[in-house]
Amino acid sequence: MSPAGQPTTRKPRRVRAHWIALAAVLVGLALALTIQGYMRHLAGIGDDSVPSSGQAGSVPQAVSQGGPIVDARGGTVRAVRPPERTLALTFDDGPDPTWTPQILDVLARHHVHATFFVVGAAAIENPGLVQRMVAEGHELGVHTLTHVDLGTAPAWRRQLEIAGAQEAIAGITGRAATLLRPPYSSENDAVTDGTWAAMQTAAQQGYLTVLTTLDGEDWQRPGQSAIERNLTPSNAQGQVLLLHDGGGDRAQTVAALDSLLGTLPGQGYHVTTVGDAVGISSMRAASPAERVSGTAFVWGIQLSDAVITAVSWTLLASGVVTFVRAVLVVGFAARHRRAARRALGAVRGRRRINAPLRHGVVEPVSVIVPAYNEAAGIEAAVRSIAASTHPVEIIVVDDGSTDATADIVASLDLPAVKLIRKQNGGKPSALNEGLRAASHDIVVMVDGDTVFEPDTVRALIEPFADPHVGAVSGNTKVANRGGILGAWQHIEYVVGFNLDRRLFDVAECMPTVPGAIGAFRRDALVRVGGVSDDTLAEDTDLTMALCRDGWRVVYKDDARAWTEAPATLGALWKQRYRWCYGTLQAMWKHRGAVVQGGQAGKLGRRGLGYLLVLQVLLPLFAPVVDVFAVYGLIFLDPIRIAALWLAFLAVQLLMAGYAFRLDREPLRPLWTLPLQQFVYRQLMYLVVIQSVVTALAGVHLRWHRMERYGSLRVPPAPESPA
């Protein structure tokens, strides 16, 4: 209740503009895909010689036995044919960029005009040819938008097909046509009840239907002579001739037409358009509204074509990138494994002969544990580190916790543990406080929700035998991997993070030593100014700073740390949002590495480039891929689309199986991998989109602390590799 005693009302949650923009983009893409699917895949130019099958009981005798030009406007039916020795020359299925220009050239050479029944989709693809037809005095007719059989199409589609073709003609030429030829129609006696219903619908919109009397059958490509015979009248009766300027190879059509136009006038025949043959003006100037509507329609289709073309190329590029990434990470992981085995063999050999190990490996190390409200897991974390087989100094920095974190650490009464209490200042300040208190040259940083295995510290610091190594990343494992969300994160840690770290190690461009487990040279940390609070991903920022300072950063897969992962989608979103946003901040902060040389250049050109392409650009495009997949299932070959998805999944499974083998993990969780593609993957992509928009908008993102569950236990260490 408010102080005045009035009930308070909850402020409605504001929908952020970028989500509205993303939804608009996806809706627009879905609309473009729907248009493309309709225009390109629900119909198509086919065999015009085969009439629609069906009954003809409702077809009037005036139509079935009348002339080829049918006027059913006004409720009455008239069917006429051209006068004697008059041949109406018609072409279907165009325009075609190859054959229509050749046919127009033949007509111009013989000074003959013809009627072209154009398919709307083809007209939009070749607007220049349609404009040329009109400019050269030819007549246009409607042959539907996508060459659909009007006799079997539902009423809504008949309206759309006829209106769409008319819009295309009006938008391209500024003229409107009144002649219609239904696809798959032929002579009058082949009109079925369905076709007649379509003709009546068209008549209500002011169209005359034009059938045919002599079919050249050029669609069969029977040869030039056969086409000429088919179109040569046997008497003086007027005819409507049918040829095709689209739909296939029309070389024979062009040759036959040239020959016919050279002989028919000499036999007393007049070859002309349908309108001229029956004495009507079949085309009129489109109204201003029709021109605007038609132009918008044409532009809309052309825009959808351009969008889908761009998407298709981008999809191809993303597929290539994904495949190349899979090959790279597996190849580099195998190389990293071989190098690790050689190093392990060398260490074991020195131990067998009691040879001294090089400086930096046998000395004690300082372990810094920054803690803020970590009461649920701090005891397990500290006790696990204290049980290390390598001598350690443990510094727990309580960063102003409001729970019992500090009291729990104090009550452990462990001799190697030093507790520092400070006012809350954030994780970087806690780490820097611990760094100032550290006594040793090597510093290990551990999150307060993480537990170590006994040999973790020893394995983690082994690479410091190389004086060029400034930091080492350990292998973070998900402790609470029960349930499907835990299994998904477990897969991501093993397959995504750890495979990438192996690649980064070999390529000498490690961008992140995770806060859960990382070791550093104290001198290197001091040289870069300690842990910065410039970004929300202080671990990534610090690692990049070390690389730019010339240090090598490596990965030790046998230095395992067990951490709690988010147990709800909301908690996961907050964690990954902070990670991704912080990584973007760090990438921008260290963008100058791209033009540097040495270790910094490797980070800039290899590491930052990899992150930009694989972790920023590719996820940004991922929703488009999903929408396109739905499009493929509906409009393309669903079996082919499913096969491609299964092939992609098979690659993922093979890569995951190899990664699990490297980490010596059981394969059981991989049964959830197919499900991961439908929920978890989309969530991660949306996180990237949100982070990129937030970064571009310059919004300051506050720290998101993850909820602790108290599930930490030290699991038994896996067997050492043979």
Asked whether residue 143 carries a pLDDT value surpassing 90, the answer given is yes
Provide the residue type at 239 as one letter: Q
Quick check: is 294 in a domain? no
Using an 8 Å Cβ cutoff, are 375 and 412 in contact?
Answer: no
Residues 6+ away with beta carbon under 8 Å from 582: 535, 536, 537, 538, 540, 541
DSSP assignment letter at 495: I
Residues 392 and 535 grouped into a single domain: yes
Residues 6+ away with beta carbon under 8 Å from 7: 1
534 part of the active site: no
Report pLDDT for 9.
Answer: 42
Q: Which domain holds residue 478?
A: 324-697
Across the range 144-164, mean pLDDT stands at 90
Q: Name the active-site residue from 48, 92, 500, 505.
A: 92
Quick check: is 703 in a domain? no
Res. 305 pLDDT band, cuts 50 70 90: confident
Quick check: is 205 in a domain? yes
Residues 235 and 334 grouped into a single domain: no
Helix ranges restricted to H, 393-482: 405-412, 427-437, 456-461
Quick check: is 438 in a domain? yes
Res. 362 pLDDT band, cuts 50 70 90: confident
Residues 673 and 539 grouped into a single domain: yes
Beta bridge partners of 451: 562
Residues 229 and 341 grouped into a single domain: no
Burial (Cβ within 10 Å: 0-12, 13-18, ≥19) of residue 82: buried
Report pLDDT for 344.
Answer: 59
Residues 444 and 575 grouped into a single domain: yes
Annotate 200-212 with DSSP letters as a single string.
HHHHHTTPEEE--
Residues 632 and 501 grouped into a single domain: yes
Quick check: is 647 in a domain? yes
Report pLDDT for 52.
Answer: 52
Neighbours of 112 (CB within 10 A): 21
Strand bridging mode 115-118 / 86-94: parallel
Using an 8 Å Cβ cutoff, are 73 and 232 in contact?
Answer: no
Provide the residue type at 408 as one letter: I
Range in 171-180, 304-313, 377-386, 412-421 with the lowest mean pLDDT: 304-313
**CATH code of the domain in which 240 resides:** 3.20.20.370
Residues 473 and 360 grouped into a single domain: yes
Annotate 61-124 with DSSP letters as a single string.
HHHHTS-SEEE-GGG--EEE-PPTTEEEEEEEEE--TTHHHHHHHHHHHTT---EEEE-HHHHH
Res. 249 pLDDT band, cuts 50 70 90: very high
Quick check: is 24 in a domain? no
What would the pLDDT profile of 52-69 be if each residue is shown by its tens digit?
Answer: 556 767 889 888 899 999
Residues 230 and 362 grouped into a single domain: no
Per the omega criterion (within 30 degrees of 0), is the bond before 454 cis?
Answer: no
Asked whether residue 80 carries a pLDDT value surpassing 90, the answer given is yes
**Which residue, of 286, 312, 338, is where some domain finishes?**
286
Using an 8 Å Cβ cutoff, are 361 and 462 in contact?
Answer: yes
505 part of the active site: no
Report the C-alpha gap between 195 and 562 in whole angstroms.
72
Residues 175 and 124 grouped into a single domain: yes
Report the C-alpha gap between 284 and 281 in whole angstroms.
7
Residues 272 and 329 grouped into a single domain: no
Quick check: is 37 in a domain? no
Asked whether residue 280 carries a pLDDT value surpassing 60, the answer given is yes
Report the C-alpha gap between 200 and 194 in whole angstroms.
10
**CATH code of the domain in which 632 resides:** 3.90.550.10
218 phi, psi to nearest 5 deg: -70, -15
Helix ranges restricted to H, 232-287: 251-263, 274-278
Report pLDDT for 710.
Answer: 52
Edge-to-edge strand ranges of the sheet holding 442-445? 417-422, 392-399, 365-371, 442-445, 518-521, 469-478, 552-563, 450-452
**Which residue, of 263, 286, 309, is where some domain finishes?**
286
Supply 541's token pair: 């920022």
Cα first-last separation, the chain: 68
Q: Name the active-site residue from 147, 244, 336, 590.
A: 244
Q: How many domains does the chain have?
A: 2
Residues 443 and 494 grouped into a single domain: yes
Report the C-alpha gap between 206 and 287 in whole angstroms.
15
Residues 267 and 345 grouped into a single domain: no
Report the C-alpha gap between 646 and 722 in whole angstroms.
34
Report pLDDT for 130.
Answer: 97
Report pLDDT for 526.
Answer: 94
Q: In terms of pLDDT, which residue wins out, 709 or 721? A: 709
Res. 594 pLDDT band, cuts 50 70 90: very high
Q: In terms of pLDDT, which residue wins out, 630 or 569? A: 569
**Which residue, of 259, 286, 313, is where some domain finishes?**
286
